[in-house]
Structure 1
């Protein structure tokens, strides 16, 4: 028998979680009939949700022994959620997907068909359209992939999703990269292995709203650039060389104008002011790039945990059993006799 672990990071997914569970169990039940060698477990990662997501997971764990969950002590981010899911998965194959049904569970049979024969180590989806997204957001997304592929030696396919069906060998390779600042899209590509991309049209959420804002995606893109490319450092050095050359040329021009009496100090005040602002801005820009890399190094050396577990299904069941046992042991209060 082959166990498939379905890892599902969740953050405030109370509206779609019951729909997702219904859909995933329906698909996996059919897969178990078509492929009798397969069994499934569902590992949900509650990333510090502030709604009733944890209560729903407790309820699912009560009625379905295949449901496991890990609840974080706070919100650590989707990257930490995926890492926790991969680390705690028990399957021979591991699936990573979102709970919002934008990663259709109906793709799982097709993804497994590519992986089961050993030709591919991973099957993933690639969006060929960005239906439902704003034009500005789509434009920036495409720009990010173009920049990333030019400045990094790790190729990231435009539109590639975190929705993946992977072998245990690939999952173990990903877990060996236990860095604190994680960018999974780059990690998936960096570890290599044969990957099959399945193209599909973008699917909108059936309920709820996405927790990813434009600013959040922008910061996430910077995380990817810093994690898989040192090109910004080279750009900073190049800007330093160019500005030094410009400054040298201006110095030569100023000396020549002074020798021939062409220099008028009051008229040069605006030029000097602009140059001061220009070079100061470039210096701050380059220092900012260095600061970003330094901050990433600082966080890595602190060696903090990627996530902190507050509750699992085993802890919940143990607490529940202890509470029931304590209630059963309490002496009953006799009713007062009627006078």
Structure 2
């Protein structure tokens, strides 16, 4: 077991990325070697079901700085990132995705900026999203505008999970009692000295995106519900608006009855019932999201379970087969 504390840790969440992993290592290894400092690359295998564990085992044989942390089941991108943050040992930590849309060459610029200006956080900000679809660009812009308005945090626009953190920032994040962390909100919330490095986002190097629309919606919901009570206030305002509309309709009905112009009709009644029913279900759904999170927190179940860490554990059987 290597007990030396590296100067830099690079945390890479991985899920079913057998095609892009060799390309990622081929590109990032020269970048890190040229920095001239001790480092480790913590690849967190988020319960992959393809040949990713075997590929990681083969790559680890040829790259001593590669460290593999394997989760027992798929726990999600943010949970895999949390596992990497807790296990990384570096004085500085960089989180980056394996798909090579975020360029590893920017890591050196991040590190130099942090050291020169004494920063605890350096965000990687996408200056160009032309590689994304029109739908992805539109939804991303809507997401950041909504989060900034509801959470009230100084969140850099178009900054994802590509960032550099000092050991101070990492320790502060790890100490937070967040069950479902969304780090693109938590990191700015810390209020630590921060800076930005802009870069051009590239197309995915290989494989398919692991963030379909359903996961994007889940991330947006986790961001809003997990970081702000604004949806509960929205439910309150919707209830007040509904009461106002019902009062107007009731007044109109009483007026029509007194004037003798009442006509039997089911349309207005049906519309009112549907409106009120939808409003109630929406409010109950918003309330249910918060109750579900309270229930999950009270259960105390971990967001992820680590099955293997190459820095501390014995070699698993499937990795031993890679030598044959």
Q: What TM-score, normalized by structure 2, do the two folds share?
A: 0.92
2:23 aligned with 1:26, yes or no?
A: no
Determine the C-alpha separation between the residues in 2 that align with 1:259 and 1:109: 79
Query: 1:318 Cα shift?
Result: 7.1
Does the CA contact (< 8 Å) of 2:18 and 2:55 recur in 1?
Answer: yes
Instruction: Work out the CA distance in 2 between the residues paired with 1:149 and 1:320.
Output: 45
Say which SS state the counterpart of residue 44 (structure 1) adopts.
strand
Asked if 1 retains the 8 angstrom alpha-carbon contact of 2:180 and 2:226, the reply is: yes
Shift of 1:146: 0.8
Instruction: Measure how far apart 1:233 and its partner are.
Output: 0.9
Conservation of the 8 A alpha-carbon contact between 1:137 and 1:214: no
Counterpart CA distance in 2 for 1:18 and 1:113 is: 27
Q: For the Cα contact (< 8 Å) 2:12–2:97, is it kept in 1?
A: yes
Aligned position for 2:177: 178
1:4 aligned onto 2:8: yes
Q: Is the partner of 1:205 in helix, strand or coil?
A: coil
Aligned match of 2:135: 136
Question: Deviating runs (4+, > 6 A) in structure 1?
Answer: 320-323
Pair 1:315-2:309 in alignment: no
For 2:226, the equivalent position in structure 1 comes to: 227
Counterpart Cα distance in 2 of 1:190 and 1:46: 28
| TM-align CA RMSD | 1.9
What TM-score, normalized to structure 1? Answer: 0.88
- 3-state SS of 2:161 partner: strand
Structure 1 contact 127–200 (Cα < 8 Å) conserved: yes
SS of structure 2 residue aligned to 1:117: helix
Q: Out of 18, 21, 30, which is 1:17 matched to?
A: 21
Residue 53 (structure 1) aligned with residue 57 (structure 2): no
Superposition pairs of residues 205-224 of structure 1, within 5 angstroms: 205-224=204-223
Matched, 1:243 2:275: no
* 8 Å CA contact retained: 2:173, 2:186: yes
Are the counterparts in 2 of residues 154 and 228 from structure 1 also a CA contact under 8 Å?
Answer: no
Higher Cα Rg, which structure = 1
- Look up the SS of the partner of 1:128 in the other structure: strand
* Residue 318 to residue 258, structure 1, CA distance change in 2 (3 Å): closer
- Alpha-carbon distance, 1:229 to partner: 1.5
Q: Which residue of 2 aligns with 1:333?
A: none
Please name the residue that 1:70 is paired with: 69
Q: Deviations over 1:167-209 (max 9, x none)?
A: 1000011111231122111111111212211111111122111
Which of these residues, 278, 282, 289, is aligned with residue 281 of structure 1?
Answer: 278
- Rounded Cα–Cα distance in structure 1 between residues aligned with 2:210 and 2:316: 32
- Secondary structure of 1:8's counterpart equals strand
Structure 1 residue 270 and structure 2 residue 274: aligned?
A: no
- Give 1:84 deviation, angstroms: 0.5
Residue of structure 2 aligned with 1:305, choices 299, 302, 309:
302
Instruction: After superposing the two structures, state which structure 1 stretch, 55-64 or 73-82, moved more.
Output: 55-64
Distance in 1, Cα, partners of 2:53 & 2:318 = 15
- State how far apart, in whole Å, the 1-side matches of 2:252 and 2:184 are: 50
Q: How many residues align?
A: 316
Matched, 1:295 2:295: no
Unaligned ranges ≥5, structure 1? 33-37, 324-339
Q: Which runs of 5+ in 2 are unaligned?
A: none
In structure 2, C-alpha distance between the alignment counterparts of 1:59 and 1:273, rounded to whole Å: 65
* Higher relative contact order structure (alpha carbons within 8 Å, sequence separation ≥ 6): 2
Does the 8 Å contact 1:181/1:300 carry over to 2? no
Equivalence for 1:105: 104
Whether the 8 Å CA contact 2:7–2:39 is kept in 1: the answer is: yes
1:327 is aligned to none
How many Å separate the matches in 2 of 1:134 and 1:300? Answer: 36
Give the aligned partner of residue 200 of structure 1: 199
SS of aligned partner of 2:261: coil
